[in-house]
Amino acid sequence: NAGVTQTPKFQVLKTGQSMTLQCAQDMNHNSMYWYRQDPGMGLRLIYYSASEGTTDKGEVPNGYNVSRLNKREFSLRLESAAPSQTSVYFCASTDKVMGAYNEQFFGPGTRLTVL
């Protein structure tokens, strides 16, 4: 039982390049999330998917797109990377318990640098 996995662990891009961050979970959770972590700002929600087939914007969606490929996988795409997107990206998943959302389980993160 691997929990939440993310690839790659590290990536360096040049401004304008594109890439996709991959995330998968094996806990049969319905809901999945992408966050970015920047120094002194905690984690901020980029996009989330409440269930398979649905996606919604979070606090900081500009410059990103997402795909909920199936129940297990939720990918984050940067179409044209900018230095402001240098950050650590975390994927998370959760499910409802007694009608409320429970704690989230996090992947190990992807450290992205955009030059």
Partner 1 sequence: GNSVTQMEGPVTLSEEAFLTINCTYTATGYPSLFWYVQYPGEGLQLLLKATKADDKGSNKGFEATYRKETTSFHLEKGSVQVSDSAVYFCALSNTGRRALTFGSGTRLQVQP
**Residues forming the site for partner 1 (CB under 8 A):** 4, 31, 33, 40-45, 48, 50, 58, 90, 92, 99-109
Considering beta carbons, is residue 28 or 40 the nearer one to partner 1?
40
Q: How many Å apart are CA 59 and CA 62, to the nearest integer?
A: 9
Does residue 36 contact residue 12 with C-beta atoms inside 8 Å? no
Q: Least distance from C-beta 73 to partner 1, angstroms?
A: 17
Considering beta carbons, is residue 16 or 101 the nearer one to partner 1?
101
Composition of the chain by helix, strand, coil, percent to 5: 5, 55, 45
Considering beta carbons, is residue 4 or 78 the nearer one to partner 1?
4
CA neighbor of 28 nearest in space, from 76, 73, 90: 73
Q: Least distance from C-beta 101 to partner 1, angstroms?
A: 5
